[in-house]
Structure 1
Amino acid sequence: MVALVDRAQKRLTLQTAPLAADTTAIRSLDWDRDRFDIEFALENGTTYNSFLIRGDKVALIDTSHEKFRQLYLDCLTGLIDPVEIDYLIISHTEPDHSGLVKDVLQLNPKITVVGAKVAIQFLEDLVHQPFERKLVKSGDRLDLGQGHELEFVSAPNLHWPDTIFTYDHKTQILYTCDAFGMHFCDERTYDEDLAPLESDYKLYYDCLMGPNARSVLAALKRIGELPDIQTIATGHGPLLRHHVPEMMGLYRDWSQAQAKAATTVAVFYTADYAHSERLAQAIAHGISKTDVAVELVDLKVAEPHEISVLVSIAAGLVIGMPPQSGPDAVSTKAALSTILAAAHAKQAVGLFESGGGDDESVYPLRNRFQEIGLTEAFAPILIKETPTDATLQLCHEAGTDLGQWLTRDRSIKQMKSLDNDLDKALGRLSGGLYIITAQKNDAASAMLASWVAQASLEPLGISIAVAKDRAIESFMHVGDRFVLNVLEEGNYQPLMKHFLKRFPPGADRFAGIKTYPAANGSPILADALAYLECEVVSRMECSDHWIVYSRVDTGRVSKPDSLTAVHHRKVGNHY
């Protein structure tokens, strides 16, 4: 292990570890990273993993995030003279793995870059200098000598369109970049103890892999043809060695369940153009919260037949506007034509700009869909600047609105599904009336809540049940802070009526409401009876809700003699 920054600072450290014969992992540990966009909270930081394989020839698999530039390059040059590296294998070109490709090429311009065709095309725009290249696809092999024969496996859309896996036949290590990974920063190289990893593994799958469940199943089928896989060397988090069959089995089970979902939304974007992929991911995650399957498709590389088939089975379509000029304009415009030809009136649709300044106009395409008869699930999302937390929240909420629209009939059916006596009995469980408020940077949210209870005395803690498809759920991950506003009996109707409204995606929940900031930055409602400032400590998944346990840091009552408003229901199978 090489610790290049004091670990006590919990900032950036580097670790090297031998994996097998002639094989070394270089793990960049990012202790402080707490979020990948607003919907993806990182409770335990993350790592960016890179690998060095030495045979008669030497291969480096992936690099690191640019924030590790000096640490990584110092470590790499301490392990090997860069001029001895023959191949740089690019699993995919997302910046957290390819951020130092240009730096490595400057150290050794003669390195041959190995990657999928799409990856090489992306790199040309990234490094802006000529380089030797070797294009590979599934089944291609690269012999490094001394038994290290590398076989490549195409795995598009996991989670970028240019992803490839690399399998070393000598060590039986499969290098998978994002797939099978997790955002979990720990000095342990491997998955010895699953317990602390399980929730991060599932969250990572849900956010990055779940929207491409069919692609996951296709990749699992391809790697199933490889000899025994002893280790999965992931791009993020601990490497998998002790629980490989179990972890692969979870991917298979989750993906099969997603692929069988009755309702699917196709989200089309243009990889490596402006913010298209980032915005598409935010919308896709919002959709997936409603238990609707999502398929992410890159307009640049998708085959016309693939697009046509997916559109024909999808209940909803989301399209990020591609560039109207440049080398990709012809292929993306053809893809849009294919979508229009396959779309039908029973579908819902949503459009968003990519924010590249050269986007195709949303409105002609919107008019075409309206002529066909599609229902607009959310107003076009127009991006005029670099996306902020508020922008990503808007996308996230737009996706959730689309998913809720598509599942509205199912939700109504579920409301009527319980036995009448049981339904009435369950409804006799009463609760108070509260409003949860939260703020992160320029993004804010609020929710009327009733399923709230004190959960501990030392420390003082409360539990709140939050439906998975609520917008505020993204503000209530471990480490997040919020305010629980207690409503007053006899004086709660105006606030309850306001926060029960269905807000459009990105709308200001607090317009016209008097608030003042809590110490933790979240809004306190001036007309609340009392408030509690809280920090999320843990979450437990309960089918359609999360049980969020939070520590109470401080609080105040504005009217000591008043009582809390109480919510009495007639039935128990909906709010």
Structure 2
Amino acid sequence: MTKAKDVQVGSVGLNTRVFRSRTWDRLKFEVEYGLSRGTTANSFIIEGDKIALIDPPGESFTDIFLSALDQRIPLNKIDYVILGHVNPNRCNTINKLLKQAPHITFITSNTGAKSLQTIFNNTYPETIAENILNIISVKSDYELDLGKEHLLEFITTPNPRYPDQLLTFDNNSKIFYTDKLFSAHVCGDQILDEGWKIYQEDRRYYFDCVIAPYGTQIVKAIEKIQQKNAYIYATSHGPLVRYGLTELTGLYSQWLENQQNQSLNVALIYASAYGNTAILANAIARGITKAGVRIESINAEFANSEEIKTAIQQCDGFIFGSPTLGGHAPTQIQSALGIALANADTNKLAGVFGSFGWSGEAIDLLESKFKDGGYRFGFDTIRVKFKPTEEILKTCEEAGTDFAQALKKRKKALKPKESADNSLSARTEQALGRIIGSLCVVTTKRHDLKGAMVASWVSQATFNPPGFTVAVAKERAIESLLPIGSKFVLNILEEGKHIELMKYFLKPFAPGEDRFANIESQEAENGCPILSSALAYIECEVSKRLECGDHWVVYAIAKNGKLLSDTGVTAVHYRKSGTHY
């Protein structure tokens, strides 16, 4: 039974409370919500001589949040609203709050102030007519004394996705309000991260989806955070970070360094009128980063021409995304297009995507210009009408992975062939290749999304409970469908009957293509496909995941299984080298 939304309130410091607007359902069809663990939207109240509200939630929680807040602090007593970032969704709550407290002063970054004024002018003109917004615009570091030893310091940390991002540090309580940084979309009762390691995969997933594409800017933000002796990271989503603060900060630095040190680099340049194109961009970026390729996401609306030129010149491939406004691409995209055509070598891989309402001329323009310019495409152009669905986001993620793999293949093809030798590494590779494993096909289904992959790195791991491990390459499309708690079927192939199945599932699939269109299968009790010609199958649930280099090692518990052939023998895979399957 689905739980209703609610607001959990707790004390996190002197005169400081958190209001956690919670839902156990997936809130949005955006890639960072892909683990479907629900989410919390964390807001904070600091009561000094003046009262400050930090980060009111979006419209999904507007009414229950304002009701919970008003029961503890009369809304007309709030003096300041501090915004880590501004978006139309959050402004719905702000507009209703202003009806009760028109005197409120907003504190946001300079870019956020412009966005706030624009959103209210366009969406809530009646509020503007009744009240002029009182805004303190923070261009650089700024301080606010609330009294009772609450001195707040504001730090601007812009990035292409959140160009208005503003962090807040309370010098008294040592609470750092980190907005999106260190967040995770997970819903539960814990206010602080007690048993913090259980959230590590959720935080890593959020990092890969939201943070990694903006590594250059995030590195600078982390440096600013580390200069303060913070006691708690008060995040926008998920449990607040207290017990794992030092470890998580170190992991962020490690993940950022790994991302920045990748040898291949993609420039993702986009603009987004209503947020839909940005959602597609995030999904494509996720696919690229999971394949081990660095990405530099650039919002053309906030980047200057020199930034775009440098990114185009230094990248190995580039991808453009655009909405269609009045039958045209936004001016910023047209300018960026001209920069790309003038500065990008034609041997660089290209890609195009975009969303539209009634027509898609901007997407057609980008595609035709790059084709006419002689560029090769890393995936088929993606055209999305209105809001993207979960299936579309999965297609975008797979397109990003295909793009990254195409770059890797080209790099490998250009690399000089190494002559065979008898070195230590060569001998080790040969020996490692002699480790054999059963040939299997992992199949899974989540909602309307299906996935499959050939797996030969499979091994029983435990007797009680009955469990085994399977290695899944990070760039596999199925990887994002196998979080902890997910279900899948391990189909064990039969010697002499495995060749056709293996060839079929090893072939390249187009992004979003149905893996089971021409395969005889039936549905298991856990809802995942069973291959009818398999030797045996095991219905499984993912219990743990361990990140190991370029693979995830997934530990699964066997819940049910059946031998489909009494006389068959398990097909095994023999390799000559440990450097490839």
Question: Structure 1-normalised TM-score?
Answer: 0.90
Choose the corresponding residue for 1:167, options 166, 169, 173: 169
2:2–2:25: 8 Å Cα contact kept in structure 1?
Answer: no
Counterpart of 2:534?
Answer: 528
Matches of 2:417 and 2:369, distance apart in 1: 36
Amino acid at match of 2:524: A
Q: 1:397 to 1:12 in 2, by over 3 A?
A: same
Shift of 1:171: 3.3
1:216–1:251: 8 Å Cα contact kept in structure 2?
Answer: no
Matches of 1:355 and 1:27, distance apart in 2: 35
Choose the corresponding residue for 2:97, options 100, 104, 109: 104
Residues 1:567 and 2:570 are matched in the alignment: no
Matches of 2:348 and 2:567, distance apart in 1: 54
1:60–1:89: 8 Å Cα contact kept in structure 2?
Answer: yes
Query: In the TM superposition, what are the counterparts of 1:353-432 in structure 2 within 5 Å?
Result: 353-357=354-358, 359-408=360-409, 419-432=425-438
Matches of 1:312 and 1:266, distance apart in 2: 9
Q: Tell me the secondary structure at the aligned position of residue 183 of structure 1.
A: coil
Deviation larger for 371-380 or 206-215 = 371-380
Residues 1:77 and 2:70 are matched in the alignment: yes
Residues 1:87 and 2:84 are matched in the alignment: no
Shift of 1:98: 5.7
Residues 1:128 and 2:124 are matched in the alignment: yes
Counterpart of 2:45?
Answer: 52
Query: In the TM superposition, what are the counterparts of 1:336-351 in structure 2 within 5 Å?
Result: 336-351=337-352
Shift of 1:298: 1.3
1:312–1:343: 8 Å Cα contact kept in structure 2?
Answer: yes
Choose the corresponding residue for 1:181, options 176, 180, 183: 183
Shift of 1:342: 2.9
Amino acid at match of 1:150: L
1:114–1:136: 8 Å Cα contact kept in structure 2?
Answer: yes
Shift of 1:44: 5.5
Query: In the TM superposition, what are the counterparts of 1:11-30 in structure 2 within 5 Å?
Result: 12-30=5-23
Counterpart of 1:213?
Answer: 215
2:196–2:243: 8 Å Cα contact kept in structure 1?
Answer: no
Residues 1:119 and 2:124 are matched in the alignment: no
Deviation larger for 362-371 or 40-49 = 40-49
Amino acid at match of 1:21: L
Matches of 2:485 and 2:356, distance apart in 1: 31
Amino acid at match of 1:180: F
Counterpart of 1:490?
Answer: 496
Matches of 2:516 and 2:278, distance apart in 1: 30
Deviation track 1:236-285 (CA, whole Å, cap 9, x = no partner) reads 22323455444333323322332233221121222452411211111101
- C-alpha RMSD of the superposition: 3.0
Deviation track 1:11-36 (CA, whole Å, cap 9, x = no partner) reads 54433223333322212243454986
Amino acid at match of 1:19: V
Deviation larger for 112-121 or 457-466 = 112-121
Counterpart of 1:294?
Answer: 295
Shift of 1:357: 3.8
Matches of 1:487 and 1:216, distance apart in 2: 46
1:35–1:42: 8 Å Cα contact kept in structure 2?
Answer: no
Shift of 1:96: 7.5
Question: Structure 2-normalised TM-score?
Answer: 0.89
Amino acid at match of 1:204: Y
Amino acid at match of 2:426: N
Shift of 1:67: 3.6
1:415–1:574: 8 Å Cα contact kept in structure 2?
Answer: no
1:120–1:133: 8 Å Cα contact kept in structure 2?
Answer: no
Amino acid at match of 1:421: R
Counterpart of 1:305?
Answer: 306
Counterpart of 2:249?
Answer: 248
Amino acid at match of 1:474: S
Structure 2: segments with no counterpart, 5+ residues: none
2:31–2:279: 8 Å Cα contact kept in structure 1?
Answer: no
Q: Tell me the secondary structure at the aligned position of residue 375 of structure 1.
A: coil
Counterpart of 2:280?
Answer: 279
2:542–2:556: 8 Å Cα contact kept in structure 1?
Answer: yes
Matches of 2:492 and 2:230, distance apart in 1: 54
Amino acid at match of 1:533: E
Matches of 2:138 and 2:404, distance apart in 1: 38
Matches of 1:281 and 1:39, distance apart in 2: 8
Choose the corresponding residue for 1:458, options 457, 461, 464: 464
Q: Tell me the secondary structure at the aligned position of residue 72 of structure 1.
A: helix
Matches of 1:481 and 1:438, distance apart in 2: 7
1:43–1:478: 8 Å Cα contact kept in structure 2?
Answer: no
Q: 1:197 to 1:36 in 2, by over 3 A?
A: farther
1:152–1:167: 8 Å Cα contact kept in structure 2?
Answer: yes
1:59–1:86: 8 Å Cα contact kept in structure 2?
Answer: yes
Deviation larger for 554-563 or 396-405 = 554-563
Shift of 1:355: 3.6
Counterpart of 1:558?
Answer: 564
Amino acid at match of 1:128: Y
Matches of 1:269 and 1:84, distance apart in 2: 41
Choose the corresponding residue for 1:439, options 445, 456, 460: 445
Deviation track 1:206-250 (CA, whole Å, cap 9, x = no partner) reads 22111111011122344456x533332211223234554443333
Matches of 1:363 and 1:374, distance apart in 2: 15
1:316–1:348: 8 Å Cα contact kept in structure 2?
Answer: yes
> Percentage identity across aligned positions?
39
Counterpart of 1:542?
Answer: 548
Matches of 1:95 and 1:562, distance apart in 2: 60
Deviation larger for 29-38 or 457-466 = 29-38
Paired positions, count:
567
Amino acid at match of 2:339: T
